[in-house]
Structure 1
Amino acid sequence: MEEHKKLQNKKMNIVVLGGGESGVGAAFLAKKKGLDVFLSDRGSIRDQYKKILQDHAIDFEEENHDEDRILAADWVIKSPGIPKKAEIVGKINQRGIRLSSELEFAYHFTEAKIIAVTGSNGKTTTTSLIYHILKNDGYNVGLGGNIGRSFAYQVATENYDYYVLEVSSFQLDDIQNFRPYISLLLNLSQDHLDQYNYNYEEYALAKFRIAENQENDDYFIYNKDDEMSQRLLQSLEINAKMLPFSMKERQEQGGYSVGNELVVKLKEQFRMKVSDLSLVGNHNVANSLAASIAGKLLNISNESIRNSLMTFQAVPHRLEQVAVIDGVKYINDSKATNVNAAYYALESVKYPAIWIVGGVDKGNDYAEIESLVKKKVRAIVCLGLDNEKIVQFFQNKKDLIFETSSMEECVRLCKNIAQSGDTVLLAPCCSSFDLFTSYEDRGDQFKKYVLEQIEYKAD
């Protein structure tokens, strides 16, 4: 790539903001490519990441931002967890310094074909499913982005022909040239609005940036049933070949599901019974459709795609069944960090639910889920430092609302109020950073305290 050559020819001064998976991956790649690199984190850096920085002699600071050094950069790589409105980000923009995501940075150092997946819900599942389809067919493929090992770290250490990347709006905010061969926009719902001026369209347009650099020999897979996507597509110019999928109507080209059949129509046709899919729920039929279209674009056989869709195991923290104790089913959907995701989770529950909800509110509108909560939920258990918004919204709609401020307390309360035949569902609607380090930490703690009930019984 031309920019890659420019980077190598000029000793660029790279500054990385954020010392987590994304930031350390970017710093490691910069160091490997012989660029001057400095990493700065206003918080503390976890030991596992500090060791990588120290082992590779990467200059870094923690619990501080040396503004003079940061603002002397030629190129700043920003971790997606740092808000756009952060003071240091404003100063970087004022200076006119190039500001990019790790996604953009790593893109310049690989010739691999990229399949990039975004959307409000289902990103992790669909990304993992496409990776499974490719891996199962013998492709030399990496899995990264917002999942697993950072894209940049893999570009530095591996030599994959393909990457399947889960891509967030925060990563797409800071791209300039990132161009996937196949992009997927699964759906849109109101999420992260606190970072987009509480403007749904602004957030949705950030998602559409996944296709902005694509050309007519690339592909854009999108959801024909999604109202916001359809509205924005009327005014957006997409250069890639557009392929829709639908759960409502047959498509001449793309994919659809009618009755008990999943159908993909491209050069050749792929058909499969929905009942044969390993994943359950309508939203996962849509995810499987999108993944199947990507598989067919990469010339994977019908037989191989069918086998992959039948053998795929759901990812952790996504409708993950933890245990059944005394007739009560415990389900971990910690990744349900917005209202729409929680809607899918509640929709999939067949029995009365004890619903665990709460955390850092992102501008949620609980009216979207109100009717389903009335129908499916027997008790609401709030889990967060500030549960006021949830309590106020549901207090006249549900008799049983409880507040907890730790996972141990939450699971103990759920055990006491659950009855045989109930489902205890962790689908928080919110991000996790008030009480937990990540949604994974929240889900892992849920599983830990649920499984301790079994050990306690055994004793």
Structure 2
Amino acid sequence: MKISVVGLGVEGQKATISLLKRDYDVYSSDINKDIDLSLLQSSGFDENINLDLEVGSHNLDKIFKSDAVSVSPSLFNKKICKDIIERDIFISDIFTKHKSVKTIAVTGTNGKTTTTHMIYEILKNNGYKVAIGGNGGGGFSGYNELLLDANENDYDYMVIEVCDMTLAFCSYVFDIDIVVVTNIGYDHMDVHGSIEQYTQEVAEFIKDKPAILNCNDENLVKIKDESSNPLLFNIYDGDLNLFGKFNLKNADAAYMTCQYLGINTDEIKKSLAEFEAVKGRTKKIIYNTNEVITGKTDNVDALKAVLDEERFDILIIGTPRKYETCRYNILDYIKSYKPDTLIIFPGLEDTTYDYIEYLNNIGYNKDMMVLKNIDDIIRYINSKQNSKIFIGGNGQEKITKITSMLEDEL
């Protein structure tokens, strides 16, 4: 079977990897000749008899003669995708078994991954066979891996983490039965254009579906009636061994979702009490005499949710990619927060100079420094006593590595 992949961002590269490991003949292309293919290259798959890789252009003849085509979510509204759908070769129209699985989609600006895993654990602990996956940028193996897995195996439920930039794409690819929306925040505004537009996109996503919505989010409250059965979650009042009030909200979203699905209340509470922090998400470590909180907080709402919990002396913040200037408003909040010390490290890319320049331009006058290496960050933390330290910002992979190194030294 010949399958094409159009677009080689994170999702496209993960789709290519998923198809190659199943021994499909794959043609993958991207119109950007400077596309970063490090994810694909590090997977161990080279250009071989199964992979025909092209950058700088798309060969439409190869694409349209494919048995199925996977399209990057960012290209879903482009002409090339519409042409593929019209030819009845879009991948979710060829592989369709996944659409018969009861599907829960979890979206929002923050809290998606934790909430998705909570729902998964509750359902799994109650004897159901559950598929989990989705958003490649959030740490899963991508939408195509989930689609292929659900077409190869028999599942009772499928729980999908849906990136806020892929709502229309996921509405087409999956037959969603229930939507959970954690919140609507100021991230990816370069894509959405405005919070109002983002809210409208969410309204379309929940339209005529049961929806579990955050009662504390004014934008979600405004659009709740678009849902066929809106249920509002608040703050979970049961036992939960996770840091932060925001995780009590995630837990209540999972609780209400599983209650709606008919899971026994005591069983839900038992699963949540035993739930452990997802790798890379917010976690507390008592390291020597220091209290260290770590976790990806790649937008201002996520960062504020953590920093509002308690006062930190030291912030260690990872930087975004160069083009993600919409995330620089993290620094505006840090200016008002006024930590004793701010440390910047290369998160997703080394844009530390850009961060320093931005901080200088907004008149930031507290102590700050740049540490380029993870080992230097560990040494710095070792030099401190009785400090409250937060490690976050952008760069989930590096934040996770720092967390693991700290835990290994305990």
Sort the TM-score into its range (normalised by shorter chain): 0.7 to 0.9
Who is 1:21 aligned against?
Answer: 14
1:223 pairs with one of 201, 214, 239:
214
Q: CA RMSD in A?
A: 3.6
The Cα shift of 1:285 comes to 1.2
1:72 pairs with one of 56, 64, 73:
64
Residue identity matched to 2:291: K
Structure 1 residues 152-203: Cα deviation after superposition (integer angstroms, max 9, x where no partner): 231243211111111112332424363311110110111112233x433333
Residue identity matched to 2:160: L
Who is 2:337 aligned against?
Answer: 373
How far apart are the structure 1 equivalents of 2:302 and 2:399?
15
The answer to whether residue 120 in structure 2 is matched with residue 131 in structure 1 is: yes
Q: Contact between 2:134 and 2:140, CA under 8 Å: does it hold in 1?
A: yes
1:98 pairs with one of 82, 85, 92:
85
How far apart are the structure 2 equivalents of 1:312 and 1:203?
31
Who is 1:363 aligned against?
Answer: 326
1:210 pairs with one of 194, 202, 205:
205
The Cα shift of 1:124 comes to 0.4
Q: How does 1:80-95 map to 2 (within 5 A)?
A: 80=73, 83-84=74-75, 92=80
Percent identity, please.
23
Q: 1:354 to 1:59 in 2, by over 3 A?
A: closer
Residue identity matched to 1:338: N
How far apart are the structure 2 equivalents of 1:369 and 1:103?
43
TM-score calculated relative to the size of structure 2: 0.79
How far apart are the structure 2 equivalents of 1:398 and 1:323?
29
**Runs of 5+ consecutive residues of structure 1 not aligned to the other structure:** 1-10, 247-256, 263-272, 433-438
**Runs of 5+ consecutive residues of structure 2 not aligned to the other structure:** none
Who is 1:165 aligned against?
Answer: 160
The Cα shift of 1:366 comes to 3.6
How far apart are the structure 1 equivalents of 2:16 and 2:199?
25
Q: Contact between 2:213 and 2:224, CA under 8 Å: does it hold in 1?
A: no
1:332 pairs with one of 261, 284, 294:
294
TM-score calculated relative to the size of structure 1: 0.71
Q: 1:17 to 1:393 in 2, by over 3 A?
A: closer
2:368 pairs with one of 379, 401, 404:
401
Who is 1:443 aligned against?
Answer: 399
SS at match of 1:446: helix
Structure 1 residues 53-78: Cα deviation after superposition (integer angstroms, max 9, x where no partner): 97xx7443155544344663676423
Residue identity matched to 1:38: Y
Q: Contact between 1:28 and 1:156, CA under 8 Å: does it hold in 2?
A: no
Who is 1:186 aligned against?
Answer: 182
Structure 1 residues 219-255: Cα deviation after superposition (integer angstroms, max 9, x where no partner): 1111122122234457xx43x2111123xxxxxxxxx
Residue identity matched to 2:169: D
SS at match of 1:124: helix
How far apart are the structure 2 equivalents of 1:68 and 1:415?
56
SS at match of 1:92: helix
Q: How does 1:229-248 map to 2 (within 5 A)?
A: 229-233=220-224, 237-238=226-227, 240-246=228-234
Residue identity matched to 1:184: V
How far apart are the structure 2 equivalents of 1:372 and 1:154?
46
Q: 1:444 to 1:285 in 2, by over 3 A?
A: closer
Who is 1:313 aligned against?
Answer: 276
